[in-house]
Amino acid sequence: MASKSNDIRPVITLKSTEGTGFTYTTRKNRRNTPDRVELMKYDPILRRRVIFRETR
């Protein structure tokens, strides 16, 4: 059985929407944000900030 903290805050992968294939990994609180997350983060391949979306 998974621990209680892993059920509430799962590890998610954020993938660049620009198609570079660059990813970030982070954790999110499933109770506060049940939908998929979109964040503006830095893409070192393009050398600028782009939108990263949660993948499953």
SS3 sequence of 8-41: HCCEEEEEECCCCCCEEEEECCCCCCCCCCEEEE
Q: Is 44 within 8 Å of 25 (Cβ atoms)?
A: no
pLDDT of residue 10: 94
Domain region containing 9: 4-55
CATH label of the domain that carries residue 16: 2.20.28.120
pLDDT of residue 7: 82
Mean pLDDT of 30-53: 97
pLDDT of residue 5: 64
CA dist 15 and 52 (Å) reads 5
